[in-house]
């Protein structure tokens, strides 16, 4: 079994990450930042998803001596020039709630009534090994921003991210459905093509 540090304490991400590995037949013990005992601050100040993912993965790898994976993900809306992008989690301010971020997003789009509503979720995964080797993979999922919140799986921008091929928002999908088409699921699928990278 592969022991991996996943540089997050977000239970939603851990569940999604673990589920994807399980569905793909890879036995992995995933431990979180909290489980490593790390109590320091990780400052994500890069201007790209890849840069922020590297900062987190390298910090945890150095601390634990274990293979560490980190993701940085967010929503890019074409009409807003790619915003909120790397600021997705704090779009309406530090410690913003998901609903506050959604409200700001819809407000910004309301100022552009005829704007293209196309958008994509982006996930960059970075893996750092104790020997200094680093691997990056990126997954994307294209959709459309809608004005109404739909679905019970209310995580992030999922309730307003409509995915046309399934005629559902991400929040309306089961975990299996979402994993099969999500940006994180696609990034993990790419990552698992590099199984040898996890062999120390």
Q: Which residues are annotated as catalytic?
A: 72
Short-list 77, 79, 60, 78, CA closest to 69: 60
Phi, psi (rounded to 5 degrees) for 36: -80, -20
Short-list 41, 39, 53, CA closest to 6: 53
Integer Cα distance of 191 and 36 in angstroms: 23
Interhelix angle 11-23/183-191, nearest 10 degrees: 50
What's the N-to-C CA distance of the chain in angstroms? 13
């Amino acid at each position: 079994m592969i022991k991996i540090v996943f540089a997050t304490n977000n239970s939603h991400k851990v569940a999604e990450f673990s589920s994807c590995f399980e569905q793909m037949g890879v036995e992995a013990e995933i431990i979180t930042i909290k489980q490593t005992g790390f109590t320091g601050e990780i400052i994500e100040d890069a201007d790209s998803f890849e840069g922020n993912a590297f900062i987190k993965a390298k910090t945890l790898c150095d601390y634990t001596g274990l293979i560490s994976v980190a993701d940085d993900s967010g929503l890019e809306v074409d009409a807003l020039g790619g915003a909120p992008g790397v600021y997705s989690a704090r779009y309406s301010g530090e410690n913003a709630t998901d609903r506050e971020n959604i409200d700001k997003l819809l407000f910004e789009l309301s100022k552009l009534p005829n704007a293209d509503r196309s958008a994509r979720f982006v996930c960059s995964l970075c893996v750092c090994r104790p020997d200094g080797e680093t691997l990056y993979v990126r997954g994307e999922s294209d959709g459309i921003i809608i004005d109404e919140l739909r679905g019970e799986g209310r995580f992030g921008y999922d309730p307003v991210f409509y995915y046309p091929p399934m005629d559902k928002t991400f929040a309306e999908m089961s975990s299996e459905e979402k994993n099969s088409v999500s940006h994180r699921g696609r990034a993990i699928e790419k990552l698992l093509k590099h199984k040898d990278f996890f062999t120390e």
